[in-house]
Amino acid sequence: MLRFDIAPVCANAYRLQAAVTFAVSAAYLFTPYRWLALVLALGGLLRGFVSPHKCMSYKLFATLTAKLGKGKQVNAGAKMFADKLVAIAGAVMVASWLLDSPVGMIPAAVLLVFSFIDLSIGFCAACWAYALWYRLRAA
């Protein structure tokens, strides 16, 4: 479902956001700094459930890409869906950190892989799944 109630977002700013997701997921998996999952949970919550335009990191990345002439506007719906998934994965990671459980390694590994794919080649798996879901519902 296309979101016309929220202004379009910059796809390249979201690629930079994927770099943050990749870095936080790697830190969660390979360092003792598991509390960094709060960055994913809170950022995903704000961008996915409120508006990407209210998030400071998105504003920073959108400004940076615009100044570099790399701003590419896309509909916000699919990107917000991806952020909702990041918020859920981040919440699981935070909860497992607080409970001292290894379960958080699973969403961290998934985010690590998919954020690397988005960062390196620009393929957003959550955006693809979002579009597929609405195509199948229309049929």
In a domain, residue 89? The reply is: yes
User: Quick one: pLDDT at residue 6?
Assistant: 87
In a domain, residue 21? The reply is: yes
One-letter amino acid for residue 59 of the chain: K
**Residues 76-116 pLDDT 10s:** 999 999 999 999 999 999 999 999 999 999 999 999 999 99
Contacts 24+ apart (CB under 8 A), 66-72: 66/10, 70/12, 71/10, 71/12, 71/13, 72/10, 72/11, 72/12
Please count the structural domains in the chain: 1
Whether 31 has a pLDDT exceeding 80, the answer reads: yes
In a domain, residue 14? The reply is: yes
In a domain, residue 2? The reply is: no
Instruction: State the DSSP code for 32.
Output: S
In a domain, residue 4? The reply is: no
In a domain, residue 1? The reply is: no
Distance in angstroms (rounded) separating the CA atoms of residues 58 and 56: 5
Q: Give the domain extent around 107.
A: 9-138
User: Quick one: pLDDT at residue 135?
Assistant: 86
Q: What is the pTM of this model?
A: 0.92
